[in-house]
Amino acid sequence: MLTPALKSIYQKYKADTDFVAEWLAVTAKTNAKAGASKASQTATVGVSSGSPGNGTAAPKSTHLIKIKDFEALATFVSKVNDLKIPKDFVFALDPRKGFADRLTSSGLEVNSLSEGRHSFFVEVLEKVRHILKPLIGTTKPDSEETTKADIKPDGVAKNIFSVLEVYHTSTEFQNAPDVVPAPATEVKYVAEQEDTFMDVIFAFTALLDDYHRLRVEIKSLWTDYVSGNLDLAAVSIATNVAFEMARNMEEEIESLLGKEGGGSFVANRYFAALCTVFGIEMNAKKQPRDPYNLDAYDLADMCMMNSLTLLASYVQSTGRSEMHLQSYNGSFGWYDETVGDSAQTRRQKWKQDMTAMLEFMPDVSFLASKIDCSTIVDEITRGMAYLANDRTKDPPFWLAWATQIYLDILQFLGQDCDRGYREMQQECLNLKYSLLDIDASSKERSKVLHAACIWDNDPFAATPGALLGVTQLYHALRQENMLAEDLDWEDLETLRKLQGNPSFFVGDLPINREAYFKNYCLSIGTSVTNWAPNRRKSKLKINSANRRNLKYTGYVSLSTNHRLEHPGARQPWSPSAVEAVLNEGVRKQYTDSRDHFQAEFKDVVEKERLELAKLFPPGIIRKLALAIQNEIPGITFKLFHHAQ
């Protein structure tokens, strides 16, 4: 199978194309080096970084396999006896042909030069499939199953996206044992990359599909928030990380999109082409202030054109150096919370989008202008700051998608959009009233205020080992049945569950009186050698490695918290980076206070790692939200109150 680090659809497509080239070249070279060298004329295009002696693997030279050489390599490979072809190879041949067919049947036009170059590439892949057909079998290409476009309100979008379903493979395919791939070599083979308009459209369609799936998942997370299954912190942080991932995905194909003017320009052309397919005159505006013919609202929503149009219009009308001075005066109306996302007509939907954005953008612009003074910066504010600092760039497509997600959330929550703020406000009021609920002249009030403020300027102090001793004593009393069955110390049991036994005990839990004493001694740092017969009268020996302590918790939450800090410009998190954080978070759950991993949980951690490796960006975002949700009890546990 392909490496699980490839998460975005376009990454997988590029990897598939390289896989075809590498498998053909390596298989040919392995079976007959002389024949392979004649069949493929390759050119060295670069050498990976790294130098001998620095701990890195030896660098591989990279060889470019030209598209025109695929057929010759396939012809040679087809003559090899008892050759088995990996499933990945078959899947890699299908999407490009299927995409071309769907694009043509949908009515999207491309220039003749691009179409010719792309057709050549598709024809080569078809010839490779035909040559290797006896070895591949009768697998039917996905493209052959589609006869014509589904011309319905969202039919074209579904028709074009459907060819990318091959990259969202089934569980059976992911778990199926594959044929052994071609042997590894010291040379890395890559396929020649095209940059035609068709390639740009393919990359942009893949990006849109990734964005669409993320958008659906984010709405699902906020649905769980409304129902009370997820905390506001979990879903809001996961949403912000999704914005980072969206930015990373666009930057992956930025050089390709730049061939056609950038993501925003490609989105406009894409939208215009879809309007043509549906027979909608895009510029036939029914009212002077309309951005386009609102009959195309649903198509615009799919392409993020609504938020992109509003974002670009705001930037152009205000001037980037003055964005933070603007305020909305209601000249276009105000956003109606009572309507939310229940607007019926396209014009009502557009007005909800427009007014919400016009109210929102001045606030974000102000935050962006003060970004150097901020300790916390969300991704939309960061994107607006980048936009304000570079006058030459159009609004990035990912930022339009992020603001569209904001609109989705705002309208989905409706009149309940300030629920989180109201909850926080109520908690603050409860604290204030609890301090005022005593007569001003009473001594009790002074005691309460003193207890509440005593640690404002003083470090918190606790007797070292007190919590460990209490936990060990509680365990011993419970083990000896010296506590009533209905007598539970819930706070202590919760803390022990959050921290794990290794934070309080050495090795297995003690079950008799001698073991209680010995485990306690070991837990405070006593060496096990003190129990040796010849050491009993010697000086007490200390082994600091035995000393138990509380471990740090909330690793995933802490990692995402650092992403909200403002250290300056930085690269956005990729889906693979988020996956790595989640994997480390799982590992941290099974470590002690010294970050020593508990080997008995190796299989549990490995199983979770394999599950994460199968996930696509939407699944990773949900896992992130769930990880933060699971860490909330540990983060909010009143440790200081418990210690008292």
pLDDT, one tens digit per residue, over 597-608 is 888 889 999 999
pLDDT of residue 366 exceeding 80: yes
Please indicate whether residue 82 or residue 197 has the higher confidence score (pLDDT): 197
Identify the H or E element spanning 212. helix 197-226
Rounded distance, CA 146 to CA 161, Å?
12
- Residue type at 495? L
When pLDDT is cut at 50, 70 and 90, the band that residue 54 belongs to is very low
pLDDT, average across residues 546-553 = 83
Write the CB contacts of 126 (distance below 8 Å, at least 6 apart in sequence). 97
- Residue 38 is predicted with a pLDDT of 45
- Long-range Cβ pairs for the range 472-475 (8 Å, 24+): 472/504, 472/505, 472/516, 472/519, 472/520, 472/523, 475/504, 475/505, 475/509, 475/510, 475/516
When pLDDT is cut at 50, 70 and 90, the band that residue 380 belongs to is very high
pLDDT digits 0-9 by tens, 286-341: 999 999 999 999 999 999 999 999 999 888 877 655 666 677 888 899 999 999 88
- Least confident range of 144-153, 154-163, 289-298, 560-569: 144-153
- Residue 143 is predicted with a pLDDT of 41
- Residue 285 is predicted with a pLDDT of 93
pLDDT of residue 178 exceeding 90: no
pLDDT of residue 55 exceeding 60: no
- Least confident range of 10-19, 134-143, 385-394: 134-143
- Residue 185 is predicted with a pLDDT of 56
When pLDDT is cut at 50, 70 and 90, the band that residue 85 belongs to is confident
Nearest 5°: CA angle at 303, between 300 and 304?
80
pLDDT of residue 398 exceeding 90: yes
**Contact call for residues 48 and 188 (beta carbons, < 8 A):** yes
Domain parsing of the chain, residue ranges: 9-194, 261-417, 422-453, 466-488+505-546
Please indicate whether residue 385 or residue 536 has the higher confidence score (pLDDT): 385
- Residue 550 is predicted with a pLDDT of 85
SS3 464: coil
The pLDDT mean for the chain works out to 78
Look up residue 262 and give its DSSP letter: -
Q: State the sign of the Cα–Cα–Cα–Cα dihedral 165, 166, 171, 172.
A: positive
When pLDDT is cut at 50, 70 and 90, the band that residue 171 belongs to is very low
pLDDT of residue 132 exceeding 70: yes
Write the CB contacts of 21 (distance below 8 Å, at least 6 apart in sequence). 65, 70, 189, 190, 191
- Least confident range of 18-27, 33-42, 212-221, 507-516: 33-42
pLDDT of residue 213 exceeding 70: yes
When pLDDT is cut at 50, 70 and 90, the band that residue 536 belongs to is low
pLDDT of residue 182 exceeding 50: no
Please indicate whether residue 81 or residue 373 has the higher confidence score (pLDDT): 373
Helices (H) and strands (E) in the chain, counts: 27, 3
Rounded distance, CA 623 to CA 615, Å?
9
- Residue 277 is predicted with a pLDDT of 82
pLDDT, average across residues 625-634 = 94
Identify the H or E element spanning 63. strand 61-65
pLDDT, average across residues 418-432 = 86
When pLDDT is cut at 50, 70 and 90, the band that residue 401 belongs to is very high
**Percent of the chain predicted with pLDDT > 90:** 32
- Residue 592 is predicted with a pLDDT of 80
- Least confident range of 410-414, 532-536, 586-590, 619-623: 532-536
pLDDT digits 0-9 by tens, 446-488: 776 676 666 555 554 456 677 888 899 999 999 999 988 888 8
pLDDT of residue 386 exceeding 80: yes
Please indicate whether residue 140 or residue 306 has the higher confidence score (pLDDT): 306
Rounded distance, CA 467 to CA 362, Å?
51
- Residue 560 is predicted with a pLDDT of 93
- Residue 174 is predicted with a pLDDT of 47
**Percent of the chain predicted with pLDDT > 70:** 72
**Contact call for residues 8 and 247 (beta carbons, < 8 A):** no
Query: Concatenated DSSP letters for 163-190?
Result: GGGGGS--HHHHHSPPPP-PPP-SEEEE
